Every structure is written in C-alpha cells, then in structure tokens.
Structure 1
Amino acid sequence: MIKKMFLAVLVAGVFATSCSNDDDGTVTSRLNISLDGLENLGNDFVYEGWIIVDGNPVSTGVFTVDDNGNLSETSFSILKETLDAATNFVLTIEPAVDPDPAPAETKLLIGDFSGDSANVSSAGIVADFASVSGNYILATPTDEDDTNESSGVWFLDNSSGSAVAGLDLPTLSAGWKYEGWVVFDGTPVSTGTFLDPAMADDNAATSPFKGSVGNGPGYPGEDYVMGTATGVTFPTDLKGKTVVISVEPSPDNSAAPFTLKPLAHVVPDNAADHTVISMGTGPVTILTGTVTR
C-alpha cells in the first residue's frame, strides 16, 4: 500500500506520447513528466518515479534536478502493457546509491491516472496542508537576561494565560519531519526539527544557541542568545526577520529548508515580547505536476 502522504507551484507543458517496438519484439511506451519547483538534492540523493500496477510499485527511472530546476530526464521508456495498466504515479526521494529496490518512505508526489494523464501533488501524499495555521511568541526563557527577549522564537500560544501548542499542522507521512527556521539576511538558521507541535523539538537539549537555564518550553522553538551563525552574533533582534515552518525529508538531504513550506511570516517591527503573534494560514508551497503516457 502506498501511503498518501512559499507560493503555489505551477506546472506547464505536456509531452507527446509515443510507442516503439524493441529489437526483441517488446512494445514500449513513453512516460513523460512535467514538474516544476523541484530542487537540487545534491550528490547523495535522486528523484525516482514509480507507477503502481496491481498494487505494486514499478520503477520508471531516476533523475536529478539542477540549481535552475531543470530535470535531467523528462521521458522514460516503459513496457506498454505495464504502463497501460498503471493506476497511479508516485515520486520519491531516494539515496543515490540505493541498496533497497523498494520505494523509500520519502514520497513527494502522487496522482491517479485518468486516461493517459495524472495530475500529481505533494498535498496528496506528504500531508493535507489545506488548513494549517501558526502562532508564536518572542521570548528567551533559557537565560536570565530580560533585555534580549526579542532574540528567541517559540511556537506556542499563551493568549489564555497558559501555554498551548501554537502550530496547527497535520500529521506527516513517514519519511518527513517539520523544521522551524529564522531567516537572517537571506540565510536560514534552524530552530529544530519535530513531528509533534505540542512537544519540544529534536534539538531542545543540544542547541548551541540556547542559554544555560533549561531547555525552554516543551514546544518547538529556539533562543538565539549564545554563539554566532551566518555572521550574526547572538543575542540579536528577530523583528523584521522571517519565521518559517518547512517540511523536510527524513533523512535530510540538506542543511537548508526544503521546498515545502506550509507557513512563513515576517516578524512585525512593532512586535511585543511574550505576546502571541499570528503567522496566519498556509500553505505557502504545494508541489504539483502532470504525468502523461
């Protein structure tokens, strides 16, 4: 069973379908993909397409994407009988050297064939991001200095007088995690990865930026009160900076945010410390595409 897993991604172009007879008499068809918005995965990972035939995945081939978003391959030769029987198309992220012939858990796009084409989307397989929303506060609870409260961000809502989860996010399919970020002068610095927005993130106890007074609230977030990153010396002021929630492959291919970003918000210049700030609703980015046979 295949699990259904900043700015909407548009897809353009449909390629012509063709068939050919190979030297051994087998008949092949072309599977053609038109996908925009995919990012370069680096040297260690590749994209792999799959068609689902009688409930089983059949690889259609791997490809890479350059820094300009250009796919190394857009057309793949498949046995016509197999391709004609396909009911779905799935795109995964795979290790470049992959010892496992089965699809990875990191499934990025899925779509059902209707006739000779399938409209594919990340919303149908990563998660349903149609109604996400977020809140956060500026505060630095991990140190005893009350003069730098605008140098920390915590994804919680304290408007009732008691802290509750500030992020309303769907459960992700296997192979994915959420990650928070603050963008400093164009360079993102992570606040940590997490699965549950009502619990502390994965780096709560290991962050090099937090102070020495505990790990902070039991929610995702970060105090930027020690050290440096991207040329910024902490503590600093997060007003005017962009706060982002992304969806990351797990294992992750990059130290930068992945292309799926359900939430993003610029911290207001007049933001008050310890006061809930709304990120509004998402999604900012959903990947879509077209596959034809």
Structure 2
Amino acid sequence: MMTKKMMAIATIALGLLGVSCSSDDGPPVANLAIETIGLENLTGGSTYQGWLIVDGQAVPTSRFTNPSGIVNLTVLASDLEDATEFVLTVEPVGDNDNVPSNAKILTGAFNGSNSATLNFAPVVADLSNTAGQFFLATPTDDVDGNDEFGVWFMDGTSAGLTLPALASGWKYEGWVDFGNVTVSTGTFSDVDALDDANFFRGSGGMVPNFPGEDFLIIPSQIPLTGITFPAAVTSKRVFITVEPFEDRDPAPFFIEPLSGTAGITTGPANPVSMISDTGVPSGRATRPN
C-alpha cells in the first residue's frame, strides 16, 4: 500500500513539474511590423537595426539587410507596449556593441497609437531644396591642357553645391562613374571647404577649398583596379550621395540628391548643372492592436 501511495505522489509531482516547465517560456514577445519605401538592400557588410525608445532608453531589435516587403522584428511585448518611438539605424560592418550608431535613417513616434510614421528628414536632413554644378579642371598641377582629368564642385570661385547640413553620422560624398569602377572624390560636410580625400592630385598646383578631385596619379598604397590614370572625367556620370560615413562600405550609398553628366568642355566657363533628386526613404512601424 505504501509503495503504491509513494508512486502516486511521484506521478503527481512529475506532472506538476511538466506543467511548470512547459509554461515557463520566458516573457511574452510580439512582432513589430516594419514597412518602408525607398530603402535598398545593404550588401557591403553593414546592416539595418531597429530601436524601440522605452523610458528614454534605446532597446535593440534584430538586424536585417533586406528591407523589402514587411520586416517583422520580434521584441518583448512589454517593451513594445511601452515604446514611444521607433528609430532605424545603419550599423557599420562588424558592429556588435548593441548601441545605436549615429547614422539614424528613419524615425517616428507612436503618439499613443499602434503605428508610427517613419521619416528621414528629422534624423538626416531635408533634401527637398538642393542644387549643384561642377566643372572640369586640374588645379593641383601646373600642366596646361589636361583639365579633362579633374572635377570640382564649384561655381567659378564660389561653392557650386547647395546642400543642407547633415545630422551627426552622415556626410556627403562625390563620385565619378568611370564605367568599370566608380571612384570617390571624397566625403565632405561643408560645400565651401576641402573634402576628406584629394588622394589622386598632381603636384605643382593648389587644392581649391571646395569638394572635388583631380584624377592624375594613383598612389601605390591605394588598391584601385579597373581604371588607368590619368582618368578623364569627360562624358562620365558625376553624382553626390548621402553616406553613413562610419559604415566602412566603400561603395556609394543609395541616397543620391544630385547628379549630372560631364560634357567634353572644361574650365569654369563651362559648368555642368546637376539634377536634383528629392526622393528619400519613408515607412511605417506597426505594433499589434
């Protein structure tokens, strides 16, 4: 009798233990649905990462590289319920610190509802009113007759670009598409100051205090293939991007406010006007009802 009684108690105990284990699945979770327009795939190792703002603190969500369709981010249900804002960042290659980068690309407030409209301008810049021009010249050497090898974003002796100041984490970058390879003219924050490059300049001349580049000489320490220097900019596509400059991705980012195609004439008397593109990403973050 005693043995049967002990077996019955043991059976009940095991049953209770099984219920406890099966119900102990951790805190409840929920999906935050992200739908965007204008974001493109990230292919250079950087990632998108979402952040819920809860009591003023950034709570991380998972990372992703493909923003097409609906991206579901699984988060703690309590954090999702208490979140007042959603922020999307571009995180650099190899990042694992679980702290938002400075390159915030979209943000939106829930404002007491279950959806937040995501906007670009508050965290990057308002690109609705941009303009630009450039001309071909090689001011960094003292050689005449080779102005087709350089491009400068200038209007005579003044700034040739009209661009708004960018938020922290972002810089502008100039590019020339040479066909086999697209080469940077350098990143910059100010339209009337030196950019961060001038790697390919000549000697004997001067570097203007404006963004631009002479493609005259390629230093041996720069691993650039598919192009022969000096490289002519004539008839090439020239454009400006907005870059998350800490992402360590050498390819142009997809936000391109200005572009133009160089002609065959050179010098400040033959400027090329650039075309403005005001399209920027947008989106919506939706939590369950």
TM-score by length of 1: 0.78
Instruction: Give the deviation of 1:26 after TM superposition.
Output: 4.0
**Which contiguous aligned blocks of 4+ residues in structure 1 show a shift greater than 6 angstroms?**
none
Counterpart position of 1:39: 41
Which position in structure 1 is the counterpart of 2:18? Answer: none
Alignment of 1:212 with 2:203, yes or no, is: yes
Q: CA deviation at 1:243?
A: 0.6
Deviates more, 1:99-108 or 1:148-157: 99-108
Which letter maps to 1:123? A
* Alpha carbons 2:125, 2:166 under 8 Å: kept: yes
Match of 2:281 among 267, 271, 287: 287
1:103: which partner in 2?
A: 100
Could you tell me how far apart the structure 2 residues matched to 1:188 and 1:81 are?
47
Gaps of 5+ in 2: 1-22
Q: Offset at 1:231? A: 2.9
The answer to whether the 8 A contact 1:148-1:236 is kept is no
CA RMSD in angstroms, aligned pairs only:
2.5
* 2: CA distance, partners of 1:186 / 1:234: 13
Higher relative contact order (CA 8 A, sep 6+): 1
Secondary structure at 1:234's aligned position in 2? Answer: coil
More strand by share: 1
CA deviations 1:17-53 (Å, max 9, x no partner) are: xxxxx7457443210112353332434x322101122
Q: Which amino acid aligns with 2:41?
A: E
Paired AA for residue 177 in structure 2: V
1:93 counterpart = 2:99 = no
User: 1:174 aligns to what?
Assistant: 168
Q: Distance in 1 between matches of 2:55 and 2:118?
A: 19
1:73-120: CA deviations, max 9, x gaps? Answer: 921222333212322211112246545333111212112236222222
Q: Secondary structure at the match of 1:261?
A: coil
Distance, in Å, in 2 between the alignment partners of 1:99 and 1:54 is 23
Bigger Rg, structure 1 or 2: 2
- Residue 7 of structure 2: aligned partner: none
Structure 1's 268 and 95: CA in aligned 2 closer, same or farther, altered over 3 A? closer
1:185 and 1:134 map into 2 onto residues whose CA distance is: 22
**Superposition map of 1:202-241 within 5 A:** 202-204=196-198, 207=199, 209-227=200-218, 230-241=225-236
Aligned counterparts of 1:203 and 1:168: Cα–Cα separation in 2: 20
Within-5 A mapping of 1:9-48: 23=24, 26-35=27-36, 37-43=39-45, 45-48=46-49
* Percent identity of paired positions between Structure 1 and Structure 2: 42
1:15 is aligned to: none
Match of 1:259 in 2: 254
Aligned to 2:51: 50
Counterpart check, 1:121 vs 2:123 = no
Gaps of 5+ in 1: 1-21
Amino acid at match of 2:50: G
Are the counterparts in 2 of residues 210 and 222 from structure 1 also a CA contact under 8 Å?
A: yes
Q: Following the alignment from structure 2 to structure 1, what is the Cα–Cα distance between the partners of residues 284 and 196?
A: 36
Q: CA deviation at 1:58?
A: 1.5
